[in-house]
Structure 1
Amino acid sequence: MNETTKTAQLPLLREKLFRRDRRSVAAARGFVRGVLEDWGMRALVDDVQLCVSELATNAVEHGVPPGRRFQVRVLAERDLLRVEVHDSGGGRVVVGRPELGCESGRGLLLVGLVADEWGVGEREPGKVVWCEFGLRGREGADRIRGC
């Protein structure tokens, strides 16, 4: 496929459901990698995969009730890539200060350092945790604008 046929009109959206299973974290990373490669955004793959890994892990460990699934959505608009992880569980998202030697509590801190923006939104039932990456000046941005 040549570059001309890869040009897409905005907005671009892909979404996929994953089981409440630790193996789904790797599957979510693979899904996002494939989406970004399809959209010609290879330069973002590592940062976005890191964020998806953290958000999906939190969904599996804290947000998704037994027997339910979580959803990963990837949306590209003019100058923005947004990744959302939706779960149907209760609870609030808390960003804590990890204690020395503790292996948990760093995920959202990492997301905050890597993504340009992140936040939490409500949905019924559950919540959506999202992160955004600005596309201006990044590889692939011109292809999704249709320029």
Structure 2
Amino acid sequence: MRRIAAARLRYWGLQALTDDVMLIVSELLTNALLHSGTSDIRLNLTAKEGFLRIAVSDGVPSRIAPGPAGQEAESGRGLILVAALAQHHGGTFGTSNQGATAWCTLALPQQEAS
């Protein structure tokens, strides 16, 4: 799915966002795989009204929220990272469908906004 996301960014001329989007996609997909118990996971990218929206849906309603991870924890920081990257790019992080979808938005660079 990362390759598909990278190809979509190239198609839209949004290569400047590739590194951060690849990290976001990885974290959201990993979170869905680890916590949903399903492999039926969907990735949706849309670019409109000046924002790129990245959404991962697993169809399993659950509580999704960034939370604190202990210093020695090997996981638990992914959603915090996604929220921070979204904020850094002038966007937001959230969930919908009772947690079945985790999403974030990134403001498109000015010269590429549509």
**Normalized against structure 1, the TM-score is what?**
0.69
Residue 85 (structure 1) aligns with: 56
Structure-2 separation of matches of 1:109 and 1:59: 15
Runs (5+) with no aligned partner, structure 1: 1-27
Whose helix fraction is larger, Structure 1's or Structure 2's? 2
Structure ranking higher on relative contact order (CA contacts 8 Å, 6+ apart):
1
Q: Which amino acid aligns with 1:62?
A: H
**Secondary structure, counterpart of 2:26 in structure 1:** helix
Structure-2 separation of matches of 1:53 and 1:136: 22
Q: Which amino acid aligns with 1:70?
A: I
Structure-2 separation of matches of 1:64 and 1:39: 33
- Whether 1:111 aligns to 2:82 is yes
Larger radius of gyration: 1
Structure-2 separation of matches of 1:64 and 1:70: 10
Whose strand fraction is larger, Structure 1's or Structure 2's? 1
Alignment partner for residue 36 of structure 2, among 40, 47, 63? 63
- Give the CA deviation at 1:130: 0.3
Identity of aligned residues (%): 36
- Give the CA deviation at 1:135: 1.3
Aligned length: 110
Q: Which amino acid aligns with 2:34?
A: E
- Give the CA deviation at 1:88: 1.6
Counterpart contact for 1:71–1:86, Cα < 8 Å: yes
Counterpart contact for 1:75–1:82, Cα < 8 Å: yes
**Normalized against structure 2, the TM-score is what?**
0.88
Q: Deviations over 1:6-59 (max 9, x none)?
A: xxxxxxxxxxxxxxxxxxxxxx21111110011110000111111111000011
- Give the CA deviation at 1:94: 2.9
Structure-1 separation of matches of 2:51 and 2:2: 19
Runs (5+) with no aligned partner, structure 2: none
Moved over 6 A (4+): none
**Secondary structure, counterpart of 1:120 in structure 2:** strand
